[in-house]
Chains A and B, each alone.
Chain A
Amino acid sequence: MNTESRKKALRYFFGKVVAPMGFKFTPDAELVDFLLEQEVILETKHGIPFCPCQPLRHDRARDMKIVCPCIPFHREHFDAIKRCWCGLFVHQDVIDPDSLPQLSPHEVGLE
Chain B
Amino acid sequence: MKKVNMYALSTCPWCRKTKKFFTDHNVPFSYIDYDLADEATQAKISAELDAAGVTGFPFVRIGDEIITGYQPERYSRALGI
Contact = CB atoms under 8 A, between A and B. Distances in A.
Majority secondary structure, A binding face? loop
Interface size class of B (residues with CB under 8 A): 20 to 34
Given A85-B56, A104-B54, A111-B53, A52 B68 contact: no
A104 B56 contact: yes
Interface in B55-73: 55-57, 68-71
Nearest to A111: B53
B68 A104 contact: yes
A34 B12 CA distance: 9
B57 A54 contact: yes
Interface residues of A, number: 22
Given A104-B54, A104-B56, A55 B45 contact: yes
B28 interface: no
B12 A86 contact: yes
B6 interface: no
Interface string B32-51: 00110000001001100100
| 9 smallest beta-carbon distances between A and B, as pairs | A102-B69, A52-B11, A38-B11, A53-B12, A104-B68, A85-B56, A102-B70, A55-B34, A52-B12
17 contacts: A35-B13, A52-B9, A53-B9, A53-B13, A53-B14, A53-B15, A54-B9, A54-B55, A55-B42, A55-B49, A56-B35, A58-B42, A85-B56, A101-B69, A104-B68, A104-B69, A106-B54
Interface of A: 31, 34-35, 38, 41-42, 52-58, 85-87, 101-104, 106, 111
